[in-house]
Structure 1
């Protein structure tokens, strides 16, 4: 199991840190009027002409709004696309040859911006699905020392974690926030890989995570048929939580679980990185019956052993079937599941109880250790919405796209 990698470290040092022409000075000792920062920050662009772009090696084609012809460069093995917008600075996009983690990529861009500037505000601004891949938008507002005083700046960022053409875009200039979203969304949505489209999975869903209505992450789930009636489930998620007004904690997780034809767990791989650093990597395999072997690392500590579960371990497709057949049908009012969730316990199964709130209702109460929440299920037994208290706030995960059957 490998966590998706992030690169572009050297190339991104130019983002939000060196292009002084894109900043607006607030002079300290001058009779000239101060710039209207609010007006500058609210600037937007009318739709621009669309330009066709094609990778020099023919690996992909796309279309992008631009004020002039976009250009490509190769830098340290990364393809760099420069898109003139008719503003002081161009939009710059990096096409990675390796998979990207949204959290790790945004965290590193923010860190690099902070190396040469005084960050004032860092936040995610949008999470959306483009094609079948997540796109995360963020911005960093900053001040930087200039000869005549402080200069205000704003770097906008987008990471699109497409498996075939991973994309990072930035624009370092006050304003144009909605224009940046529109142009990068159009670019990412138009990308066509020479490798062709991947086969459709059996089931696909995309969820957006919000705290107090603000987008802070996503979860993408894909289920595929495997040999002998078994099922492979892949989950990719990223979460961005503010540590302060100037700092985000970014967490990326990828997991794969194999269920047998009865929905019981055969094997699971799980990896998590916090701020781009791998801190959890576990593998679990069924030895025989309810005996399972685990191996991996947690916070730098090697873990290796076996445990015997109180019952066969459940999986996502198996749990969906149980919810559908036992809770939603009215047969039972409560359902106890035993799951392997390494982030909760890397060396033992976790007990989860689901209770129906009212007869005929698809709303369930979730109990897992000290964690409680509310789940809204669909007719297939999959979660449409999850609400979990977080201190005095609420974290809400809500499905925004779905197709197929689990």
Structure 2
């Protein structure tokens, strides 16, 4: 456990570029910070040959000792709850507010979890955990294995396979991107997949913040999983809030992990915050993308008194300062038009939207129209030259979309929702 303590300092700075969801202006004003590169010692691990098992046999094992619910609490770090463990967990809180929760697994390697006082970028946090804990071994491959929705927030599971002195190992990682109390857990041993899932779910759902100041919860939120073929590659989540100045605040965060061996593996965190007025038009919108621990793109548009929009930031490696004419429709505004038009009478919906991933410095024409021969909520969405098949919910929001990706397809589909949009 002591060898994990340096990671508390590594992970406390630079991971959190997403603020509590309601703080839109703070999000727009704040830059993502590159994470420090200070390495940490490798975590305690169980050698491949432990108990005389082959790697194939080791991958099937699980903790046999009974897991019991045990209370954990930290007044200093302001959290408490119940978690699964074989025996009494321990909590160590550092001066920066990051806590290390160690969950004994009997005679097996313990599961270690970090609890953060501030939100984190899931991709950046996963990369730091994997690269820091495995710095002294050869990292062979990294892949996302699952996405869960715990307490209305996404939890990303990953496996990092490595080799060292002729032996192989696997670091299992779970990052729970909870905007109130973010968590990340690791377990360095072959096998124990179901045990790791059960224990980390107990941490994600059972440990709650007791801080006096809590962010305002959204009135609607959802979690989506992203897959290429059968391979999970990440998640997308969005939330809706009532704006104090009128209109609606929309916040979307996504994390994608491209699987493979270094240097092919890539971690991407993207964030969008959008304020729309009563008609659904964009009042202001910010966008940021982070690759690994480094900011890659960041830009913002704001509506001027004459109805035009000023775009400022850095996109595609270039500084951008330009003006866009015409109305830009928000995500919420587009869903309203889909609900009132396409879903009611099959009328196609057309709008201009700012989609940086499609056309960074100009509006993208977007068209949603019924898909011939499909169900009443099936549609085709065209964004410039890109076309995707979508399934809609009653409110006009997309609950599943499928895009071509070489010989297979990228599918993004909803796995949970809370509230009503």
Shift of 1:244: 4.5
1:286 to 280, 303, 308: 303
1:349 to 363, 383, 408: 363
Residue 171 of structure 1 is matched in structure 2 by 187
Residue 281 of structure 2 is matched in structure 1 by 264
Conserved 8 A contact 1:236-1:255: yes
Shift of 1:288: 3.0
Please give the per-residue CA displacement for 1:164-199, whole angstroms capped at 9, x wherever unaligned.
Answer: 211111111111111111101111101121136654
After TM superposition, the score normalised by the length of structure 1 is 0.89
Shift of 1:299: 4.6
Residue 62 of structure 1 is matched in structure 2 by 81
Residue 379 of structure 1 is matched in structure 2 by 394
In the alignment, structure 1 residue 23 sits paired with structure 2 residue 47: yes
Residue 40 of structure 1 is matched in structure 2 by 58
Structure 2 CA distance for aligned equivalents of residues 113 and 388 of structure 1? 35
| Secondary structure in 2 matching 1:346 | coil
Residue 216 of structure 1 is matched in structure 2 by 233
Residue 25 of structure 2 is matched in structure 1 by none
2:352 to 326, 331, 338: 338
Structure 2 CA distance for aligned equivalents of residues 7 and 43 of structure 1? 35
Shift of 1:346: 2.6
Q: Which moved more, 1:90-99 or 1:355-364?
A: 355-364
Structure 2 CA distance for aligned equivalents of residues 389 and 43 of structure 1? 38
Shift of 1:110: 2.7
Residue 40 of structure 2 is matched in structure 1 by 13
2:136 to 100, 109, 116: 116
For structure 1, list consecutive stretches of 5 or more residues without a partner in the other structure: 27-32
Residue 30 of structure 1 is matched in structure 2 by none
The RMSD of aligned alpha carbons is 2.4
Conserved 8 A contact 1:209-1:215: yes
The change in CA–CA distance for 1:122 and 1:253 in structure 2 (over 3 A counts) is same
Structure 2 CA distance for aligned equivalents of residues 5 and 189 of structure 1? 29
Shift of 1:393: 1.3
Shift of 1:119: 2.4
Structure 1 CA distance for aligned equivalents of residues 76 and 174 of structure 2? 24
- The structure having more radius of gyration, on CA atoms, is 1
* Number of corresponding residues: 389
| Secondary structure in 2 matching 1:44 | coil
